[in-house]
A and B are shown apart, each in its own frame.
Chain A
């Protein structure tokens, strides 16, 4: 393991993966909150023709010109989407989907054309589809580092406008912010994030990298700052874990492993996060339902006792089941544990019977008084 960490290639891959995780985590948070998850999808697919054009212009696999080309076509796609939504009756999602397909189709055509021309130089261009981490060199890290630095600086400097615009664009415009220009800028920065990940993760999978860390972080945080920071951390963790996993199991490609890790983190967050997770929510709901049904069953016993004018009246469990239309044994046992009812031996042929305890009578009477009071205050 230590030998692994000093491995030059692995270091490069890890650093690159962490950079990608941080930048897509930070900018993806805004995309998630603005309900523009599809934007990352569109931007990354539309980057593919740029990759090809960059390659053709440079005449070689030069990462700088490839990233430049990708950025240009991604931003052009974003602007086209905005134009489509503003000037036609199409909604945002339709505009994004249209641009996505157009960009990707154009990219694949260019890609196959370049490949059909043959030559050694075109080797590996299709790795931009699904990414190829092993091909990353130390020199490739510098443009990535530059892009991450620019984006992070942009987010810090424009924090308040971005926050206001993300929460309430109308109010931001009323406050005098140039909302359209800020939106364009944010989109361009998301395009930067996508372009950063092209080489290692690929255009197809960068989509998930833009969404997953932000969606995961939202589950745990109650403030935008917390969410963005956590999202960056989770993105970095996903990058590191994916990078290490691919090194430990040679033959597995890094990009998909990074995306799988990020998706797993998001999935776990959706399930278990304390306030918003599905499992805690489901558990709370069940407990609430249980406690109300327990109370109602105690009330039934109380009513029956009163009707029979006998606080020691022994109620058959089957009668309670029939009254509530469900199996009430778990609730009766829970009530017995709280000392409010007690099981009694009475007519064993008929099945179990239950009796209110003194505490149970008091509790039920208090509950009834509460309810009566509530009813009165309502009317």
Chain B
């Protein structure tokens, strides 16, 4: 099939930092993501929001090839993820690892370079310097040699961000980076992300706090198993979309006879 495809740079999907088409993921007998068509342009700070169980984390995992797709495909700058690993940084949920691992902050950040180093080359002076610079970007350079078990939650989160930054990614995917951090850390994280966006990178961030959506993002994806709405924040962040995303059950298909827009009214009470 490769012979039939135009070169990656000429495909229509190459315009988008992230492009998904018909993306569907199921866990067991229930779709976690259904028919997701998304186009996120380069250079935006995009929030993915939606209620619990909406498939927000699953969307990131599907983009990164961590969960099998039932249908559809994902393109990053027109290419598959596995051809683009070096251009993508990932910040998983902080609670996904055991922070009692015997290592230091700078060592964790250096692990972000293991992919580039290949299996056999060992990290050296150069890699340590790169890691220190990444820690500096998140304001953690003074704690570089601290054991990670002795860091606060917010500091651990910033170490994770530095681990993603050290490979100089063009796209940064973050899974709930604001979960369990204090207000000061949250402000500094959003400052860092804003700066990266201004450098032309694309940031896609799973978020749960509706209060801050308008201040933080310039692009928004409302998700509730389906894409409820997606686009520039001003046109998408509306009361109607909020109700549709958070208002109870969402039907998979808009066919007649099914309670599709019922959620519109049901959610108004929230």
Contact = CB atoms under 8 A, between A and B. Distances in A.
Contacts of B97: 167-168
A223 B104 contact: yes
A176 interface: yes
A161 interface: yes
B124 interface: no
A168 B92 CA distance: 9
B96 A222 contact: no
Nearest to B88: A174
Interface size class, chain B? 20 to 34
Contacts of A159: 122
Contacts of B147: 222
Contact of A33 (B90, B101, B111, B163): B101
B102 A227 contact: yes
B64 interface: yes
Could you tell me the dominant secondary structure of chain A's interface residues? Answer: helix
B96 to A, nearest CB: 6
A235 to B, nearest CB: 17
A170 B104 contact: no
Given A168-B97, A174-B90, A222 B114 contact: no
B116 to A, nearest CB: 9
A248 interface: no
Given A168-B92, A170-B92, A221-B102, A176 B85 contact: yes
Contacts of B255: none
Contacts of B119: 157-158, 160-161
A161 B121 CA distance: 11
A227 B101 CA distance: 10
A171 B102 contact: no
Interface in B96-112: 96-98, 101-104, 107-108, 111
B120 interface: yes
A218 interface: yes
B82 interface: yes
Nearest to A225: B102
A175 interface: yes
Contacts of B108: 167
A161 B82 CA distance: 18
B85 A175 contact: yes
A168 B103 contact: no
A92 interface: no
Nearest to B121: A160
Contacts of A174: 64, 66, 85, 88, 90
Contacts of A334: none
A159 B118 CA distance: 12
A62 B98 CA distance: 43
Contacts of A171: 90, 92, 111, 163
Contacts of A143: none
Given A33-B101, A170-B66, A226-B102, A175 B114 contact: yes
A163 interface: yes
B262 interface: no
A168 B148 CA distance: 13
A35 B119 CA distance: 24
B115 interface: yes
B102 A222 contact: yes
Contacts of B88: 174
Nearest to A218: B102
A223 B103 contact: yes
Contacts of A158: 119
Looking at A35, A161, A166, A222, the one whose CB has the most chain B CB atoms below 10 A away is A222
Contacts of B92: 168, 170-171
A224 interface: yes
Given A174-B64, A174-B66, A176-B115, A167 B103 contact: yes
Nearest to B28: A89
A173 interface: yes
Given A160-B119, A168-B92, A223 B107 contact: yes
Contacts of B122: 159-160
B120 A170 contact: no
Contacts of B104: 222-223
Given A175-B114, A223-B102, 18 more contacts: A33-B102, A160-B119, A161-B114, A164-B114, A166-B101, A167-B97, A167-B101, A168-B92, A168-B97, A168-B111, A170-B66, A173-B64, A173-B66, A174-B88, A176-B115, A224-B101, A226-B102, A227-B102
Interface of B: 64-66, 82, 85, 88, 90, 92, 96-98, 101-104, 107-108, 111, 114-115, 117, 119-120, 122, 147, 163
